[in-house]
Amino acid sequence: MVWVVIVIAMLLVISPVMWLRPSPGQRRIMLLRNAAREAGVMVKLKPSPLHGETGTMPCYRWDYPGERPGPRFLLIRDAEASEALKPYLAGWRWRIEPLRPLPEDARAPLEALLRRLPQDALVLESSERQLTLWWWESQDAEHFRTYLEDFRRLRDALAGNPDDPERLRVFGDGARPPAE
């Protein structure tokens, strides 16, 4: 009878520990986010840029160099976009289109990346400071690593192409050139 009490006591001690242990899905996401951070990608949970969505969504950010800002645009997967938005590439629509056409050396890697992204990658956004992928983290760290070079190539091609070309005329001390 004593052994039954010992087994029950052990189960009572072990069961809360088992509840605290991360599930396989949580471990996969933890490894994915750690791999992204090790590669220099900033990972955040932010309010979704999708209309009608509440709550937060994972976003992965690649910073543009401070002296080489990027263009502003927002691409949304067709499944999440309104038919009123302008189509860009099969499966993607512009919510915010860049003010100036993207250079060819940026357009080609952008299109190649959009074709490769998983179906749960819903938004690709570029701002003056960063390139951001909004997605539901469906893949593991090893598969995500296959996208890293493509994102670096795209970020480097977009850097220095801001919507406002005057932004590139800032001198090293932060002063703007005199008006001409």
CB 157 within 8 A of CB 112: no
**What pTM, to 2 d.p., does this model score?**
0.81
What are the extents of the domains in the chain? Answer: 38-166
CA dist., res. 147 & res. 141, Å (int) = 10
Question: What backbone torsions phi and psi does residue 157 show, to the nearest 5 degrees?
Answer: -75, -35
- Hunting for tokens 């242990």 — which residue is that? 21
Residue 107's contacts (CB-CB under 8 Å, 6 or more residues apart) are: none
CB 112 within 8 A of CB 92: no
Q: Is the pLDDT of residue 103 over 70?
A: yes
Residue spans of alpha helices (H) in 122-162: 141-158
For residue range 108-119, list pLDDT tens digits in order: 999 999 999 999
For residue range 45-89, list pLDDT tens digits in order: 999 999 888 889 999 999 999 889 999 999 999 999 999 999 999
CA dist., res. 37 & res. 41, Å (int) = 5
Distance of CA 78 to the CA centre of its chain: 17
